[in-house]
Every structure is written in C-alpha cells, then in structure tokens.
A = this chain, B = another copy of it.
Amino acid sequence: MSKEINIGIIGYKFMGKAHSSAFTQLPIYFGEDMKVNKKIICGRNEDKVKRAASQFGWEEYATDYRELIKRDDINVIDVTTPSNYHKQIVMEAIDAGKNVFCEKPLALNVQDAREMHEAAAKKGIKHQIGFNYRFVPAIRLAKQLIDEGRLGKVYHFRARYLQDWATSPDFPLTWRFDKKVCGSGSSGDLGAHVIDLAHFLVGDLKVVTGINETFIKQRPIIEGEGGLSAKAEKGAPLGEVLIDDATIFCGQFECGALASFEMTRYAAGNKNGMGFEINGDKGSVKFFFERMNELMYCDYTQDGLTQGFTRIQTTDYMHSYAKYYYPAGHVIGYADTFTCEMYEFIKAIKENDQAAPGFEAGVKAAQVIDAVDLSIANRAWVNVAEV
C-alpha cells in the first residue's frame, strides 16, 4: 500500500466536517500507511470555504468544483454537497477518471442513480456511497453473525429511524423540506440508511406497501438553507412543505422474511433513534444507534435456562476496527464511523479493489424508496423489481 492518495472534497458543512475529521484521524488510528493528502476543498462561498480549508486542514480551496476535477494530482473526489448536485458532479468526476466517494443519497431518483452507477462501472473507477452506518462495529458484528449462520433462516427485519427536530410547527422551512434539493423527506433522508442496512444484512426486498404523511403542511420561510437548529423570525411568511414528514412501510424480502420500516421526524424525545431487530430461527440481533457500541444478540440455540439477549459491547479487540482504537470498554462515537468508512475506501483504492458499499447500493436504496412512493400513490402493493 504505497500510492499517494490526494483528495479533493466538495462541500464543507455537516458531512464536509465529518469527512475532514475522518481523513485526519486515519493514520492515527489505522496506521501510517493510511495517510492521505487533504489537497483541496471546494465550496461556493469563498469566505466560508477559505476558513473551512484552514480549520479542517486542507492545503488549498476552490469555489468551482471543476477545478478539482481537472487537476491531475487529485485522484479522489469526495462529494458532500446537497443531494441535487450529486449527479452532475459525480458524472463529471467519473468522466475525468477520478475515484469518487459520494454521500447518500446517490441521486434524487432511481433513474439518475442507475446512470451514475453505470458510468462508474464502465469507466472502472473506484466508487463508494456514504452509508456510514455499515461501518458501525456493532452492525458489522450483526453482519458477521448472520454470515456465520448464527441467526439461521431470517424471519423478520424491523427498522425504525426516529427523530424529533420537525415536531414543532415553528421550525422553519429549511432545505430539508425542499423537494427540489432533497427529492423526498423522511423516506430518502432517514429511510435510505435503514433500507441500505436491510440490503446489507438480509437481502433484496420483493414487495412493499406503505403510507406517509405531511403533518405540518406550511412552515415559516427563512433566509438561507438552515440547519437542524434553525429558527424563523416572528411573523415570517409561510411556505408549502412538499415532502413527507413520516413514512411507514412493510413488505417481504426475496428470501421470505417480513420487513417493517418506520421513518419520522416527529417522534418527540428521539434524537437519532435509528434501530433495527432481526429474528431468525437460530437467533436474533437488536441495534440502537444512540447506544452504538452495543449489539444485543440472542443465541436461540442456547438452553432456555440462560437464554436471552446479551448486550455485547463491541469494543473488544476482535470486534471490527476495535483493535485500532482503545482497550475494551472505551467507546467510539459517530465521527469514528466516518474514519472506519474512509479506511475501507482508501484501503480499497490502495489495493486496487472496489470498495463496498459501491454505487450499486445507492441504486438499490433509491429503487426501494421509489417503490414505496409508488405504493403510496397507488394505495397498493408494489413489486420492487418492477421499479
């Protein structure tokens, strides 16, 4: 593993910060070989991107992403912009032969996502999509247990992603409510993560049927894009909310297991309440992100006398990535999921492997999201494969 990795990143907000932190931590935790060069950061606002470059430790900055794409020394483009820019930037980066990391969702609909994946595959570049929850050690342990057959035949996958930041009607009409920017609301923003985990852990969905709602149909307009702690001015005019506030759907996997999903921004008291449970005929696992260093596992082949869910703290040396961090019991955090994610991406590039999850995972997530939307529009079941 010797090739220099020179990164150009586009975007400097939530994910731009998380990725910058990850690139910085890579060698400290994963070893000297994992050093990367944080070459250039790009954003539209020169003042802000200049400061971001200094703060996050990038050598240079730019305001036009094409500058990054055309530079010969850059061999990785990292896309953390709003979702509606993903396709355009990614397609150009692929065209220039760059390896591309793209934040989720890959695109605003399955057609665009497919084009992006096909372009990447055709060009032969390395690509990865930002489904960072796949790199949570507890989730990787769930995957390992399933792959080892410790859950047996899977009967159930149930997932929920509960947040509460939109509960108040006073919360303003930020970019997350803007259909042009996001494509969808709860189903794309939150659903994409848990749908990807369903694919990662159980397999393909065959059929879905769901329902959704926009509970608060008008919200105060604000200046700028607004984050999760945005506040509108008193008496601000109201604008229409065009995306879904909450989405629930159920369905069946190709393997026969039943699925249930619920995503909402209106679950008071739940901050980042992503969780799932999988039941098989030999065992079960449960995960809850707010306690991300823990996997609950029931070995159903055990004698009933001592059977039950075991709280496994996934920080011991044999758990994924744990040996690179601290002794058992010294928990990791959300930011570390990006370090692990980028470790896999950079390692794959250095070893000339295609990383996982590649863009195909983004295509599949988009396909399910579109199928759910269609089932709601038609008030009927939809076969995912037909979307």
Listed in ascending order, the chain A residues whose CB lies under 8 Å from chain B are: 14, 17-18, 20-21, 24-25, 27-29, 31-32, 35, 51, 54-57, 141, 144-145, 155-156, 158, 160, 162-165, 167-168, 207, 209-213, 215, 227-229, 246, 248-252, 256, 258-260, 262, 264, 266-273, 277, 279-284, 289-293, 297-300, 303-313, 315-319, 325-336, 379-381
Contacts and interface: CB of A to CB of B under 8 A. Distances in A.
Nearest to A229: B317
Contact of A336 (B211, B268, B333): B333
A156 B281 contact: no
Contact of A330 (B167, B259, B272): B272
12 contacts: A27-B57, A31-B55, A156-B262, A163-B329, A167-B300, A209-B209, A211-B252, A250-B250, A271-B315, A272-B330, A306-B312, A308-B313
A26 B35 CA distance: 19
Task: Please tell me how many copies of the chain the complex holds.
Answer: 4
Contacts of A273: 329
Contact of A213 (B27, B145, B213, B258): B258
Contacts of A300: 164, 167, 268-269
A93 B212 CA distance: 45
Given A14-B326, A213-B256, A381-B380, A280 B308 contact: no
B155 A328 contact: no
Contacts of A228: 327-328
B313 A310 contact: no
Contacts of A308: 269, 297, 310-313
A329 B55 contact: no
B211 A251 contact: yes
Question: Which of A162, A290, A325 gathers most chain B CB within 10 Å?
Answer: A290
A292 B291 CA distance: 9
Contacts of A256: 213, 215
